[in-house]
Amino acid sequence: MKPKPQKVRKNKKEKKKIIDYKWSGTITLLAFLISLVFSIMSETLIPNVHVLISILLVLIVVLIGILFDMVGVAITVADKKVFHAMASKKIKGAKTAIKLINNAPKVSSICNDVIGDICGIISGSGAAAISTILALELGVKAIVPSLIITALIASLTIGGKSLGKGVAVSKSNFIIEKFAKVLYPFIK
């Protein structure tokens, strides 16, 4: 006779941790505010500056998305022991790094989902604005520059994030150390 499998009981606290409505609401509001600020900057700057500056601005937004994606990945694999050792030596940012690692799911969500996705959307709208500017300047239909610029931005974003993920996994402690040092004055 086979033994009966034991039922695993979950208490109410464990279920509550799985569905965190407060965090979801907070992250939604944060995404809205960051997106609003980035969109205002993008919509006012990109169409009103020279096309080369517009391209540079979109590339900066793509780079920000890649960098925050790297931080989001690095935070999930960073070794907390290293930062405890640094904190015992009173190295700036070590305690901040520990706080970040202790909140890795939230930090990763902010870096990858909020900032990374917003950068993707803003770079897309920037690409559309640049396409329109180029079409008018070159006297061609907007579809040609739009296809080329959109494909270029998408490939740079995807390729950059792919490369960044590999760097983030292999250099996670270094990345988190530098990120924590940047945040240290604000979190202190």
Q: Taking the CB of residue 93, how many other CB atoms lie within 10 A of it?
A: 23
Q: What confidence score (pLDDT) does residue 134 get?
A: 87
pLDDT band at 188 (very low <50, low <70, confident <90, very high): low
What residue segments make up the domains of the chain, in order of their start? 21-187
Nearest-angstrom CA–CA distance, 66 and 174: 16
CA distances, 18 to each of 12, 14, 27, 73, 163 (Å): 10, 7, 16, 21, 31
Q: What confidence score (pLDDT) does residue 62 get?
A: 95
Query: What's the mean pLDDT in 175-181?
Result: 94
Render pLDDT for 115-171 as a digit per residue (tens, 0 to 9).
988 898 889 888 888 888 888 888 888 788 889 999 999 999 999 999 999 999 999
Render pLDDT for 74-114 as a digit per residue (tens, 0 to 9).
999 999 999 999 999 999 999 999 999 999 999 999 999 88
Q: Where are the alpha helices (DSSP H) in 78-142?
A: 80-88, 94-102, 104-108, 117-138
pLDDT band at 6 (very low <50, low <70, confident <90, very high): low
pLDDT higher than threshold 60 for residue 33: yes
pLDDT higher than threshold 60 for residue 14: no
The residue among 53, 167, 70 whose CA lies nearest residue 119 is 70
Two structure tokens written together for 11? 């208490």
